[in-house]
Homo-oligomer: A and B are copies of this chain.
Amino acid sequence: MSRILVSDVKDFVGKQATVMGWVRIRRDHGKLIFLDIRDRSGIIQVVVNPQVSESAYKVAQELGVEYAVSIKGQVNQRPGKSVNKDLESGGFELEATEIKILAKAATLPFDMGSDDLKLELPTLLDHRGITLRHPKIAAIFKVQAAIIDEFRNYLKTQGFVEFQAPAIAPAVAEGGAAVFEVNYFGHKAYLSQSPQLYKQIVMSAFERVFSVNKIFRAEPSVTTRHLTEVVSLDAEMAFIDSWLDVKDMAEQVVRSILKRVEDTCAKELKMYKVELPKMIDKTPYLSLKEAQEKIFKNSGRDVREEKDLNPEDEREICEIIKKETGSDFVFIYGYPTKHKPFYVYPNPENPEVNEGMDLLCKGLEWLSGGRRVNDYDQLTKQVKDWKLDPNKIKLFLEAFQYGVPPEGGFALGAERMTMQILELSNVREASIFPRDMERIDERLSTQKKS
């Protein structure tokens, strides 16, 4: 008899079915053994009654938590009072007639049977191979998969083409401390910090492009927001009228991601008892100056001469906007030109500020982007003004020598969005195998220095 998924048991009431999965919980009640069996679709209760099957009961007595099993039996509706409302399949149970052990499990180093997995972060990560099985931990990566998939899906509907950005880079256009060096056949190479220049090259051929790829940051930082390896969701679009086209596309992408998570991850959001951040019909957008003025009026904190918003400013402006409009999101644009990368487009009416933008959500930056310099002469001038070596970005500059129309783009960090949607306290929880200064799978302190 071929396997059915737990989520399909509702179609088998009164019939025989085979379920395969892992023993999540075993409870012995008098002469009965109850098992919670988990498969990729959900959890179902199995009743093992020796009066129904002596042989199944015998096998069930051997079972421990995380044993992988195949269980045949009859699907029954559970009586009203014993329906488990927390489970999608909580209205059904399987009365076992045959149990096969597919793989045994050692005794778990900690309890995985409760709804919350109460472990310190290092323990959670040291045992990623086990902790990933906990439904609430697995939920994080289901939400993340939905976020990433919807980023692609939405952009495909808008005529964007996917490309594969490289990870190994020959040089670092934007200065150098925070990159990882690779020994490349005796040459120095680096891990890419951003697909920025590559996506602009590919945009110059395909007009609208996106990539989902790893970027690498070597900042020696151990904050709750830092990873050394991050999944970057990048997009770039040509033939824009102004940076507002880029802003609108970015907003639509985020809106579409939120909708997808709402539509397909209700169970996961419920586990975390969270509501999605609220995006109103038109997300407010403010220049940096306007944001600083609002902060000054709101709390008297005078940050009007600052070149950027610091984390406190970001929190405050988000609170102000939330109060004023109900929006959890706000775009901030118009940063001081000289404080941002060379490729960001200066406002022609006031070249001191640029047409770069960030999208903040509840005090955290979700997205960064804006219009880019597309004119070749202006671009080479800015490369010079920023004191960069044009030889190191030849491929990029050459593309702009041949007619690149007005264009812009943006990037989102998958882990950060996941973290904030589920209100996790540390971005490491939102990376399936997080890399940071102190860890690559295992803690580095346990390894030798080279």
Contacts and interface: CB of A to CB of B under 8 A. Distances in A.
Contacts of A433: 165-166, 198
A225 interface: no
Contact of A3 (B130, B198, B239, B404): B239
A403 B68 CA distance: 5
Nearest to A126: B395
Interface string A398-438: 11111111100000001000000000000000011101010
A288 interface: no
A145 B67 CA distance: 40
A4 to B, nearest CB: 11
Contact of A184 (B165, B239, B431, B440): B440
Contacts of A404: 68, 103
Interface string A217-235: 0101000000011010000
A105 interface: yes
Interface residues of A, number: 103
For the complex formed by this chain, how many copies does it contain in all? 2
Interface in A57-101: 66-68, 70
Contacts of A406: 102
A432 B168 contact: no
A206 B169 contact: no
Contact of A104 (B144, B198, B398, B403): B403
Interface stretch (A114-122, A185-193, A269-277, A291-299): A185-193
A378 to B, nearest CB: 11
Nearest to A137: B205
Contact of A168 (B188, B375, B440): B440
Contacts of A207: 39-40
Chain A contact residues: helix, strand, loop or mixed? mixed
B129 A398 contact: yes
Contacts of A366: none
Given A164-B231, A449-B186, A170 B442 contact: yes
Given A40-B206, A183-B450, A450-B188, A103 B395 contact: no
A32 interface: no
A184 B189 contact: no
A402 B108 contact: yes
A333 interface: no
A450 B40 CA distance: 49
A155 to B, nearest CB: 11
A41 B204 CA distance: 14
6 contacts: A102-B403, A130-B402, A132-B205, A164-B414, A170-B440, A182-B183
Given A169-B441, A183-B183, 11 more contacts: A5-B159, A40-B207, A133-B205, A149-B152, A166-B229, A167-B191, A168-B229, A180-B183, A182-B183, A184-B440, A185-B220
Q: Which 4 A-B pairs have the closest CB atoms?
A: A129-B399, A132-B205, A105-B403, A68-B405
